[in-house]
C-alpha cells in the first residue's frame, strides 16, 4: 500500500512541526542561551552517591513497579533562581510512617545531618508528610528530604500493604543556602 498524497503532506507537516522546536532550541544554545543545567553531571553523580539514598530501614524495598530503577537524578531550572540539582529514590515500606521518620531521624543525625522543623503555624507533624535535614558538604548546602506523600512519579508506585516514600538529596547549582521550608 502506498501513501496517498494527503497523507504524505500530513507527514511532512508533522515532521517539520517535530523538528522545528529542536532546531530553535539548538539555535538558542548556539547564541549562548543556557538553561543553567549544563555541566552538572559530576555534581549529580556526587549527589547520587549520598549514603542515605541507599540506606533504607529494614524491610524497605523498591516498589514492585520500580525494581531495578535505583537512584534517579535531575536538574530543575525554572529560571526564577539557581537550578535545583537532586538525586531521588523511591521505597515501599510495610510499616508505619512513624517508623520511617524515626529511622531517618536517627540515621541522618549519625551522619551529621541537622533536622529542621517546619516553622509554619499549624504545620503537620513529620510523620504525616515527611521530614527534612540539612548539612554542608564540600562547600555545598545539602537538603535531605523524606517525603511520605511522593507525588509526580509516573507510574504511581505499587506498594501493596504499607506505604511509599521518597528520599531525596538536593542542592542549588551554586551551592546556596536553601532551607527545607523556604
Could you write out the three-class secondary structure of the chain? CCCCHHHHHHHHHHHHHHHHHHHHHHHHHHCCCCCCCCCCHHHHHHHHCCHHHHCCCCCCECCHHHCCCCCEEEEECCCCCCCEEEEEEEEEECCCHHHHHHHHHHHHHHCCCEEECCCCCCCCCHHHHEEEEEEEECCEEEEEEEECCCCCCCCCCCCCCCEEEEEEEEEECCCCCCCCCC
Give how far Cα 26 sits from Cα of 15, 32, 50, 120, 142, Å: 17, 10, 34, 43, 32
The fraction of the chain above a pLDDT of 70, given in percent, is: 80
Question: What is the reported pTM?
Answer: 0.77
**Of 174, 172, 171, 169, which is closest to residue 49 (Cα–Cα)?**
169
Residue with cell 508506585: 157
User: Using CA atoms, how far apart are residues 36 and 121, in angstroms rounded to an integer?
Assistant: 35
| The predicted structure's pLDDT at residue 180 | 87
**Of 146, 142, 140, which is closest to residue 168 (Cα–Cα)?**
146
What would the pLDDT profile of 22-80 be if each residue is shown by its tens digit? 333 333 333 334 578 999 999 999 999 999 999 999 999 999 999 999 999 999 987 67
Mean pLDDT (the chain, rounded): 81
Are the C-beta atoms of 97 and 128 separated by less than 8 Å?
yes
4-8, 24-28, 175-179: range with lowest mean pLDDT? 24-28
Grid cell at residue 95: 510499616
Angle, vertex CA 10, rays to CA 8 and CA 12, nearest 5: 70
Amino acid at each position: 500500500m502506498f501513501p496517498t498524497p494527503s497523507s504524505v503532506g500530513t507527514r511532512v507537516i508533522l515532521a517539520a512541526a517535530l523538528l522545528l522546536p529542536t532546531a530553535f532550541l539548538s539555535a538558542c544554545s548556539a547564541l549562548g542561551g543556557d538553561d543553567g543545567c549544563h555541566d552538572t553531571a559530576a555534581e549529580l553523580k556526587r549527589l547520587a552517591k549520598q549514603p542515605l539514598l541507599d540506606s533504607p530501614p529494614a524491610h524497605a524495598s523498591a516498589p514492585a513497579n520500580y525494581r531495578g530503577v535505583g537512584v534517579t537524578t535531575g536538574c530543575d531550572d525554572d529560571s526564577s533562581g539557581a537550578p535545583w540539582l537532586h538525586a531521588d529514590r523511591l521505597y515501599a515500606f510495610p510499616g508505619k510512617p512513624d517508623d520511617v521518620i524515626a529511622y531517618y531521624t536517627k540515621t541522618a543525625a549519625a551522619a551529621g545531618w541537622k533536622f529542621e522543623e517546619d516553622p509554619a503555624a499549624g504545620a503537620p507533624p513529620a510523620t504525616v508528610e515527611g521530614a527534612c535535614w540539612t548539612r554542608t558538604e564540600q562547600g555545598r548546602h545539602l537538603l535531605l528530604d523524606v517525603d511520605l506523600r511522593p507525588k509526580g512519579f509516573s507510574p504511581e508506585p505499587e506498594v501493596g500493604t504499607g506505604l511509599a516514600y521518597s528520599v531525596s538529596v538536593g542542592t542549588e547549582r551554586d551551592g546556596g543556602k536553601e532551607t527545607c521550608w523556604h
